[in-house]
Each structure stands twice: as structure tokens, then as C-alpha cells.
């Protein structure tokens, strides 16, 4: 349920668990455990609606990226990224709705806890894979102005994506054994209430080391380091590439003038500028779009680290654990759902194609209006 946040929630459960001798209602049991009503409402009603909207927006993005104008290999990663976003959002819907049985008193909490354990494992992999795809997009754009990247990052996009997915699965396999189903409390509607808690593996020293190395180091810390490094290096290399390109253009113009090749210097300057300006703008927009996606991923990872530190120092409260769960679910929902804004703002091709499909068709055609008016006059 929470991505990379390894918790000591079994201790939280033990500290807040209601004794089996006391029989309480389900609402009282949830209240005593820290399932606040605002958390349940957010998870049960708000987040699923956002997930549905996000799925539709991601489907729209895939449709746009499948148009004939998007032939560059980098758009393979964008299509795949949107597909992974959809899979992630689909998983988020039942996870959010089944966050707590407050509004579903007949819910089988044991099966729900099993699903939550499955969701933790899948969500960690999907979240990690999304970030590696964003890094792959940035590396693909760097191939334009980095000979080193162009030489060593030359495999087919589908091969790179498959390799990245397998690496993500391998790194995050320990999370499949990080949780178990915990039964505690009694209530009037069911004999016990079940929720996830730390497994014996994650509570052991070996398990904590493995989960720390895989989850905290490889999945979070290393991803932040790689992302920040790539962002800085790519930005400096791109600025250097732009400067070098401008210097070459100025040199060409000067040499052309000296050799009297240019009959009308102003006209040639305009022609050269018009020839390159669209491609240059497209390159710049595509680069900054990749840079923005990678930067968002870095910010999310930093937030995950802060959540981990928060829960590590305040692990004695089960309600704090639930707050981190809600925040994590919200991140897993909002980031994929708002990706289309990045595509629209930074990719002129995407923006033009979207406007053409949905807005330009709705504009009134002057010729058609004039023809209708003429037809009406003739009728009269």
C-alpha cells in the first residue's frame, strides 16, 4: 500500500490493538486504530474518481502519441509510460476503495489484506519502472547532443524497456515478502479485523538489511542520484550544444558573405532561420519535456524519503502510518493523472495534434457559413 516506505507497523498494531476480550463496533475499532473519517473519504471516494479521470487522460495521450507524426523512437517510451500509468491507476482504484471497511462492513478484510500485499509489490515495481522510463526518455534526447550517449544507448527502445522492467522486478522482489496479514480486535460484525503488518522476514535483521538496500538505496536514493546527475549533465550539454550550433551558423553566414554566395544576405538569413527554427524549437521542447518529467520524478522520490524519515521517527503511532499510506496513494494517483499537462505544455507536436483533434474541428468554417447564408437568401 505504501511504495518504498518500509514500516514497523506490526509494533504500531500491537501498541494500538484492541484486546480480544472487548467487543466493540466496527466504527469504534477503526477509530481506535486511527482510521480517521477524512482519510477514509479521501481514499474511498476522491482518489478513485481522480484515477478514472487519469486513465481517460492517459488513454488520450496514447492515442495522440500513436498518430503518424510521432515517429521518433522516443515516442515509444512515451506510449509505454502512459500504458504503465494506466496499469498503475487501475490498481489504485480497488486499493483506495478498500482502504478501510467503514462504508463496507461486510468486506472480507482478510482477502482485502492479501490484495494490499499484492498491491505493495506491484506498485513498487510500477513506480520504479515509470522512473526508469523517464530516465530513458531523457537519455534518448541526449543522443542528439551527446556522442557518448548516442554510442552506448543505441539499443532498440523495446529491448531497453524490457531490460529496465526486469531490473526493476529483480530489485523489488524482497517487497513481496515484506508484509503479512495481521488479525486483531473483535467487533460485532465480524470475528476479527485484518490488516497488513510487517512480516517475520522484514522484522528480522537480514530482512531489514535486504529491504533497506533494495528499497531505500537502489529504489529511492540511487534513483535520486542518477536523476539529479542526468538532469545537471544534460542541461549543461544542451546549453553547450546550442552555443556551438549558433557559432557554426554565424561562421557559415560570415563565410557565405565573403565568398559572395549570398545575393541578398537578409533573405538568406531569413531562409536559414526559417529552415531550422521549427526543428530547433521541437528539439528544445522535447528536451525540456523529458527534463521536466525526470525532475518531477526526483521531487517525488525526495518526498518519499521524507515520508520514510517521518514514519521512522514516529513509528509508534499507527495513525501516522495510515497518513503515509494516504499520501503515497495520492502521489501514485496524481502523478500519472497530470502527466498530460507536461505533454501539452512542453511538446508542440502533442499540443497541435490535440488542438487539431478536439478544438479546430469545432471552429466555424467561414465558407460554410457564407454558403448557408447564401442558400437561405436564395430560398427567401
Are the beta carbons of 33 and 318 closer than 8 angstroms?
yes
Any idea what the CATH number is for the domain that residue 74 is in?
Answer: 1.20.1070.10
Spatial distance between the Cα atoms of 215 and 202, rounded to a whole number of angstroms: 12
Does 248 map to a domain? yes
Q: Is residue 253 part of a domain?
A: yes
Q: What is the pLDDT of residues 46-75, one digit of tens each?
A: 999 999 999 999 999 999 999 888 888 889
Q: Is residue 32 part of a domain?
A: yes
Q: Is the alpha carbon torsion for 73, 74, 79, 85 positive or negative?
A: positive
Burial class, 368, CB count within 10 angstroms (exposed 0-12 / middle 13-18 / buried 19+): exposed
Average confidence (pLDDT) over 187-194 = 60
**pTM of the predicted protein model:** 0.80
Percent above pLDDT 90 for the chain: 26
Is residue 366 in some structural domain?
Answer: no
Tally of structural domains, the chain = 1
Task: Give yes or no for residue 285 having a pLDDT over 50.
Answer: yes
User: Residue 181: which residues within 8 A CB-CB, separation 6 or more?
Assistant: 110, 113, 114, 117, 194, 195, 196, 197
d(CA 344, CA 349): 9
Residue 4, domain member (yes or no): no
So what's the pLDDT on residue 272? Answer: 47
Residue 244 grid cell: 556551438
Q: What's the whole-number mean pLDDT along residues 222-234?
A: 83
22 found inside a domain: yes
Predicted local distance difference test score (pLDDT) of residue 292: 79
- Indicate whether 112 pLDDT > 80: yes
Whether 288 has a pLDDT exceeding 50, the answer reads yes
Please indicate, yes or no, if residue 378 is contained in any of the structural domains.
Answer: no
**Least confident segment among 5-14, 246-255, 358-367:** 5-14
Give pLDDT tens digits for 145-179: 888 888 888 899 999 999 999 999 999 999 999 88
Q: What is the residue range of 342's domain?
A: 9-360
Q: What b/e sequence results for 144-165 when a residue is b if at least 16 CB atoms lie within 10 Å of its CB, and e otherwise?
A: ebbeebeeeeeeebeebbeebb
Burial 237-263 (b: 16+ CB within 10 A, else e): bbeebeeeeeeeeeeeeeeeeeeeebe
Q: Quick check: is 367 in a domain?
A: no
Q: What is the pLDDT of residue 63?
A: 94
Nearest to 288 by CA among 276, 296, 278: 296
Q: How many residues does the chain have?
A: 380
What's the pLDDT band for 119 if we cut at 50, 70, 90?
very high
* Grid cell digits, residue 200: 517475520
Instruction: With a cut of 90, say whether residue 368 has pLDDT above it.
Output: no
State the helix-helix crossing angle for 109-142 and 74-97, rounded to 10 degrees.
160
More confident residue, 32 or 267: 32
Amino acid at each position: 500500500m505504501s511504495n518504498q516506505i518500509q514500516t514497523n507497523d506490526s509494533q504500531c498494531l500491537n501498541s494500538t490493538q484492541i484486546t480480544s476480550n472487548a467487543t466493540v463496533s466496527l466504527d469504534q475499532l477503526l477509530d481506535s486504530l486511527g482510521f480517521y473519517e477524512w482519510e477514509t473519504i479521501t481514499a474511498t471516494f476522491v482518489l478513485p474518481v481522480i484515477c478514472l479521470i487519469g486513465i481517460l487522460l492517459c488513454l488520450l495521450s496514447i492515442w495522440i502519441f500513436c498518430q503518424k507524426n510521432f515517429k521518433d523512437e522516443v515516442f515509444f517510451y512515451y506510449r509505454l509510460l502512459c500504458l504503465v500509468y494506466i496499469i498503475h491507476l487501475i490498481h489504485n482504484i480497488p486499493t483506495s476503495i478498500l482502504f478501510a471497511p467503514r462504508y463496507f462492513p461486510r468486506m472480507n478484510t482478510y482477502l482485502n489484506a492479501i490484495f494490499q500485499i499484492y498491491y505493495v509489490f506491484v506498485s513498487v515495481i510500477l513506480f520504479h519502472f515509470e522512473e526508469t522510463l523517464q530516465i530513458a526518455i531523457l537519455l534518448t534526447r541526449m543522443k542528439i547532443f551527446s556522442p557518448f550517449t548516442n554510442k552506448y544507448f543505441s539499443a532498440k527502445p523495446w529491448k531497453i524497456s524490457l531490460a529496465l522492467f526486469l531490473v526493476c522486478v529483480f530489485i523489488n522482489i524482497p517487497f513481496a515478502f515484506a508484509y503479512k496479514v495481521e488479525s486483531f480486535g473483535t467487533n460485532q460484525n465480524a470475528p476479527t479485523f485484518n490488516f497488513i503488518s510487517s512480516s517475520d522476514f522484514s522484522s528480522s535483521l537480514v530482512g531489514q538489511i535486504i529491504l533497506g538496500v533494495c528499497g531505500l538505496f537502489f529504489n529511492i536514493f540511487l534513483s535520486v542520484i542518477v536523476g539529479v546527475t542526468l538532469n545537471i549533465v544534460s542541461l549543461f550539454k544542451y546549453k553547450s550544444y546550442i552555443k556551438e550550433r549558433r557559432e557554426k551558423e554565424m561562421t557559415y553566414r560570415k563565410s557565405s558573405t565573403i565568398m559572395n554566395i549570398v545575393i541578398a544576405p537578409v533573405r538568406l538569413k531569413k531562409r536559414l532561420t526559417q529552415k531550422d527554427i521549427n526543428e530547433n524549437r521541437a528539439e528544445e521542447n522535447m528536451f525540456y519535456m523529458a527534463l521536466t518529467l525526470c525532475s518531477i520524478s526526483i521531487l517525488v522520490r525526495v518526498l518519499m524519503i521524507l515520508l520514510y524519515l517521518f514514519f521512522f521517527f514516529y513509528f509508534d503511532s499507527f495513525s501516522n502510518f495510515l497518513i503515509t499510506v494516504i499520501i503515497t496513494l495520492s502521489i501514485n494517483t496524481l502523478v500519472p493523472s497530470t502527466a498530460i499537462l507536461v505533454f501539452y505544455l512542453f511538446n508542440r507536436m502533442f499540443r497541435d495534434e490535440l488542438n487539431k483533434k478536439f478544438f479546430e474541428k469545432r471552429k466555424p468554417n467561414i465558407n460554410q457559413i457564407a454558403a448557408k447564408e447564401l442558400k437561405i437568401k436564395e430560398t427567401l
